[in-house]
Structure 1
Amino acid sequence: PLALANAPNKIESVFKVSTKTFDYIYSLVKEDLMAKSSSFVGLDGKPLSLKDQVAIALRRLSSGESLLTVGDFFSVSPSVVSQVTWRFVEAMEERGLHHLRWPNPEEMKVIKAKFEKIRGLPNCCGAIDTTHIVMSLPSVEASKVWYDKEENYSMVLQAIVDPEMRFRDIVTGWPGSVTDSCLLKSSGFFKLCEKGKRLNGNVIELPEGSHVREYVVGDIGFPLLPWLVTPYPGKDISICKVEFNKRHYATRMVAQRALARLKEMWKIVQGVMWRPDKHKLPRIILVCCLLHNIIIDMEDEVQDELPLSHHHDTGYRQQFCHSMDKSAFIQRDKLSQYLSDGLPP
């Protein structure tokens, strides 16, 4: 039923990826799809090729259209769209995970240099942020735990992002009622950092002799920790702190942009999802994050055509976390002092 999978000029407009990226994604999942082969057929009774199946799944994830609409587009039934998409998600989980991993020491050097280039923050290893995937739930499943502070039912995604907007660590599956700080503290990333197994690389010495360890940057919804630097709260703060906050904001903006790009590219996680299976949804979110990274890793030109936005949680107010660690307080002051010393008089 599809000539699309073999029509390069149509691939970009229909799937939002270049032919090269489409072929790479196909090569990743082909064996798994073959191993679980079942004869999916179109409405004309002809069997769907593996490329057709990848095309259907990518269209469903990238457009966010209903099973019926995607089915009409490809002349297949809604149940085939559903089964094919889920099979693709399973194959991507199995074959694509190497596209989402924590950087090795060599990669981290490059990441730190790129973060420093943004607005001067030294030894920064990532930017952290969260976003809500909004759901419409049947009344049977609509328990308060999924009800967030903005009165939506939602699932939260926490992501740590590098300067290229690549996801380096994600956590999802948690209900919308969970705060950013609570989600962080429940994450494997938090436990690794607290045990000294992550963000445990080079400590740098600043010109005046103080030392700064590796850290990530996040907004005031997160706790201030030795390895997580948040901005100074309040408006009545010194010029030096205002300057630090500006630089901090510009640096952590990459995480907001990455989440906005994720939702713009993979529209299944944008807007309101109609009665999703809450056990399958985290796996769909993960696969959208893998696809997001693959587009960056493939240097796909498609990404250059997307608007650069940082709005990914429209209508959600800023959370505020009062928790802070004393040694982290000192580290933030050291960074602030260092950055203000570099200012012109």
Structure 2
Amino acid sequence: MSKDHFDELLGKVGPLITKADTSMRLSIGPAERLAICLRYLATGDSYRTIAFSYRVGYITVALIVREVAGAIWTALVEETMPVPQMEDWRAIAAEFQERWNFPNCVGAIDGKHVVIQAPANSVSLYFNYKSTHSLVLLAVVDAQYLFRVVDVGGFGRSSDSGSLRNSAFGESLRDGSLQLPPDTVIPGAERLLPHVFVGDEAFPLLDNVLRPFPERQITRERRMFNYRLSRARLVVECAFGILSSRWRMFRRSTSPEVTELCVKAAFVLHNFLRRKTIGRKSRPSVEESTDEAPDTPTLCDVPRMGSNNATRRSLQLRENFCSYFNEDGAVPWQQNVV
């Protein structure tokens, strides 16, 4: 992070983290408070190490990390991770077609486990298949490695499919309130297909979610489809890799509350810095818009969903994509890969 980017971030977060001086002593300034939080997020150092570097108490560092991480999320989420509208989904689909040769794709979806300290009396809620305790992150990433939708706080015992079922994003996907573009004809073929998210085998096959064919008795055509889907889905794996290598706090286990705050701050900071790199302008705020702002949809808390069984329509849609990738949508190098 350059000094200019730090100053810009301070201008956005500073008003939320400024503390008034008291008659007993001066408060820690917003610039130093932000630096302490960023130091923790970027290095994952212990509170005592950071306290020694900044000559403050380690309990003070713990309080600053909690407060500033929450302020970073509040200050940046509307700018760097707004709820996508129909035109945003169309732009994402165009980028996937241009960069990854996957038409009608509006995002790659995946989950990630973040190791935490198991809370007292949590039993097996946070215990995962890797024999550690963790929180589950669910994220949708676009073709430019930007996080567009995130859900943080799932229990470690939940699978990726279970996290999707229990998330607000999953419910919005199911009831059709995501404002996805209508079905369109894939370029180069006369097939009317929906806009879809691509995921791995852990996710269910839905009308708007594609997963690979199972390896049992797989044909060459289906293997070609799996390759093309995995190629597009790789962006979410790379995004998680960039996130965890840039923000080393993912390698330190803390309480679920602190982990959730820090992870959400890392998401918006990732987008904040990534937009500077790719030169993409974020959506203007309501105050900057001259037109009357429409009602902004939100992803609300939802109850559990039903089963993950694929419908006949979902199976047929995957076959249609498979046919396209083996006919009109074939790329020159895929024959040498599969």
Question: Aligned pair 1:254/2:235, yes or no?
Answer: yes
Question: Aligned pair 1:120/2:106, yes or no?
Answer: no
What is the alpha-carbon distance in structure 2 between the residues aligned to residue 323 and residue 252 of structure 1? 22
- Indicate if the aligned counterparts of 1:136 and 1:153 stay in contact, CA closer than 8 A: yes
- Indicate if the aligned counterparts of 2:104 and 2:196 stay in contact, CA closer than 8 A: yes
* Aligned with 2:58 (options 72, 78, 98): 78
AA at the equivalent of 1:299: T
Question: Aligned pair 1:224/2:202, yes or no?
Answer: no
What is the alpha-carbon distance in structure 1 between the residues aligned to residue 172 and residue 223 of structure 2? 31
Output one character per residue of 1:135-188: Cα deviation in whole Å (capped at 9) or x when no partner: 2336x3451111111111111000000111111111111110011111101111
1:145 aligns to what SS in structure 2?
Answer: coil
How far off its partner does 1:208 sit? 4.7
How far off its partner does 1:25 sit? 1.3
Output one character per residue of 1:211-259: Cα deviation in whole Å (capped at 9) or x when no partner: 1111110000000000001111115322211111111111011101111
- Comparing 323-332 and 100-109, the one that deviates more: 100-109
Q: Which residue of 2 aligns with 1:60?
A: 40
1:290 aligns to what SS in structure 2?
Answer: helix
Any residues of structure 2 matched to 1:81-100 within 5 Å, and which? 81-98=61-78, 99-100=80-81
AA at the equivalent of 2:36: I
What is the alpha-carbon distance in structure 2 between the residues aligned to residue 137 and residue 194 of structure 1? 32
Question: Aligned pair 1:198/2:184, yes or no?
Answer: no
What is the alpha-carbon distance in structure 2 between the residues aligned to residue 148 and residue 56 of structure 1? 31
Question: Aligned pair 1:21/2:15, yes or no?
Answer: no
- Indicate if the aligned counterparts of 1:229 and 1:332 stay in contact, CA closer than 8 A: yes
Unaligned runs of 5+ in 2: 280-306
TM-score between both structures, scaled by the size of structure 1: 0.81
1:125 aligns to what SS in structure 2?
Answer: strand
What is the alpha-carbon distance in structure 2 between the residues aligned to residue 79 and residue 27 of structure 1? 26
Distance 1:335 1:87, change over 3 A: same
What is the alpha-carbon distance in structure 2 between the residues aligned to residue 60 and residue 282 of structure 1? 14
Q: Which residue of 1 aligns with 2:20?
A: 37
- Indicate if the aligned counterparts of 1:199 and 1:214 stay in contact, CA closer than 8 A: no
Q: Which residue of 2 aligns with 1:294?
A: 272
Which stretches of structure 1, 4 residues or more, deviate above 6 A after TM superposition? Answer: none
Q: Which residue of 2 aligns with 1:215?
A: 196
What is the alpha-carbon distance in structure 2 between the residues aligned to residue 62 and residue 300 of structure 1? 21
- Comparing 229-238 and 101-110, the one that deviates more: 101-110
AA at the equivalent of 1:156: V
What is the alpha-carbon distance in structure 1 between the residues aligned to residue 86 and residue 166 of structure 2? 25
* Aligned with 2:86 (options 86, 91, 105): 105
AA at the equivalent of 2:62: S
Distance 1:29 1:79, change over 3 A: same
- Indicate if the aligned counterparts of 1:126 and 1:161 stay in contact, CA closer than 8 A: yes
What is the alpha-carbon distance in structure 2 between the residues aligned to residue 132 and residue 77 of structure 1? 31
1:200 aligns to what SS in structure 2?
Answer: coil
How far off its partner does 1:324 sit? 2.1
Distance 1:248 1:58, change over 3 A: same
What is the alpha-carbon distance in structure 2 between the residues aligned to residue 339 and residue 252 of structure 1? 15
Q: Which residue of 2 aligns with 1:174?
A: 154
Unaligned runs of 5+ in 1: 1-16, 302-320
1:86 aligns to what SS in structure 2?
Answer: helix
* Aligned with 1:329 (options 315, 327, 330): 315
Output one character per residue of 1:249-288: Cα deviation in whole Å (capped at 9) or x when no partner: 110111011111111111112x2404x1x23432221111
- Indicate if the aligned counterparts of 2:116 and 2:259 stay in contact, CA closer than 8 A: no
How far off its partner does 1:210 sit? 2.5
- Comparing 95-104 and 253-262, the one that deviates more: 95-104
How far off its partner does 1:327 sit? 1.0
1:61 aligns to what SS in structure 2?
Answer: helix
What is the alpha-carbon distance in structure 1 between the residues aligned to residue 47 and residue 252 of structure 2? 15
- Indicate if the aligned counterparts of 1:165 and 1:258 stay in contact, CA closer than 8 A: yes
What is the alpha-carbon distance in structure 1 between the residues aligned to residue 253 and residue 259 of structure 2? 10
Q: Which residue of 2 aligns with 1:9?
A: none
Q: Which residue of 2 aligns with 1:310?
A: none
Distance 1:205 1:59, change over 3 A: same
What is the alpha-carbon distance in structure 2 between the residues aligned to residue 194 and residue 183 of structure 1? 14
